[in-house]
Amino acid sequence: DNYCCQYCHQTLNHNELTYDHVIPKSKWKDRNHPATCWTNIVTACINCNRKKGNKTPKEANMPLRILPIKPNKNIKYLPIASHLSRL
């Protein structure tokens, strides 16, 4: 995501960013994998993450810049990437 919030499109320092569950964990039901996975996580600034809260992007009227995908090994990761790989 190149340190860019996928909702407001601001590029920020890594310590100003969080990861957001596109489909909130509370709404992640009947799926074959955990909610914290590459295809359900995007980079979000703190303000957008709080604003979106427990809603989907559509419910929050906050469209995503790009849909999340599982990265290849050549992409720059946020420091949180090591946390995701342990899940």
Which tens digits make up the pLDDT trace of 21-54? 999 999 998 778 899 998 999 999 999 999 999 9
Is 41 a domain residue?
Answer: yes
What letter would DSSP give residue 84?
H
Asked if 68 and 22 count as a contact pair (C-beta separation under 8 A), the reply is yes
Q: What is the value of pTM for the model shown?
A: 0.77
Look at residue 80 in the predicted model and tell me its pLDDT. Answer: 54
61 is in which domain, residue-wise? 14-85
Q: Is residue 8 in some structural domain?
A: no
- Residue 9 located in a structural domain: no
Count the domains in the chain: 1
Q: Is residue 7 part of a domain?
A: no
| Residue 81: predicted pLDDT | 53
Residue burial 26-51, b: 16+ Cβ < 10 Å; e: rest:
eebeeeeeebeeeebbbbbbeebbee
- Burial of residue 13 (CB within 10 Å: 0-12, 13-18, 19+) is exposed
Q: Is residue 5 included in any domain, yes or no?
A: no
